Amino acid sequence: MKNIKYDKDNFSFAYRVSAIIYNRDKTKILLFCGNNRNFYMLPGGKVHELEKSEDAIRREIKEEIGFEDLEFEMAGVSEEIVKEKNIHQITFTYKTIYKDEIKEEKFKSIETDWINFEWVDVNKLNNYEIHPSNIIKMLNNSKFEHIVEEISY
């Protein structure tokens, strides 16, 4: 299956999923940073054609981290618009709890070695540059969020 992403005339659109993955006592969340990036993001990836968003987040988490049997709940939708780069991205974000013990605070993706995961204390998230920055609003909010953020690099 192909990713739902297209590029045309210097414009790029992507449909993504991401996950807020808490540890079992909800004191940490899992973030990732690429080797050549100076910001963090939630784990996730592109949705495939004809794939449900919840199936996509399960697939992405299994492919990147190896976590299975997680129960996902919809947290919200975010739209990221990067005008300087002509990028528009829509992301469905889910919440879940990783109930096993954390074995490593920092580790590489099992899918590729340029993705670096890190368990981050929720009280120290302000010390990290997270994209999109407004995604943090979804952390402890029990209602569905729709966030639109224009990002400048």
Cβ within 8 Å of residue 37, ≥6 positions away: none
Do the bridges between strand 145-150 and strand 73-82 make them parallel or antiparallel, or are there none, so unpaired?
A: parallel
At residue 101, the pLDDT reads 94
At residue 142, the pLDDT reads 65
Integer CA distances (angstroms), 26 to 1, 22, 29, 40, 50, in order:
34, 5, 7, 19, 33
* 5-150: in CATH 3.30.300.30: no
pLDDT tens for the chain, 153 residues long, are 899 999 999 999 999 999 999 999 999 999 999 888 889 999 999 999 999 999 999 999 999 999 999 999 999 899 999 999 999 999 999 999 999 999 999 999 999 989 999 999 999 998 999 988 777 777 766 666 677 778 776
At residue 140, the pLDDT reads 65
At residue 35, the pLDDT reads 86
Side-chain-facing half-sphere of 43: CA atoms under 13 Å = 32
Distance between CA atoms of 127 and 120, rounded to whole angstroms? 10
Domain spans in the chain, listed from the N-terminal domain onward: 5-150
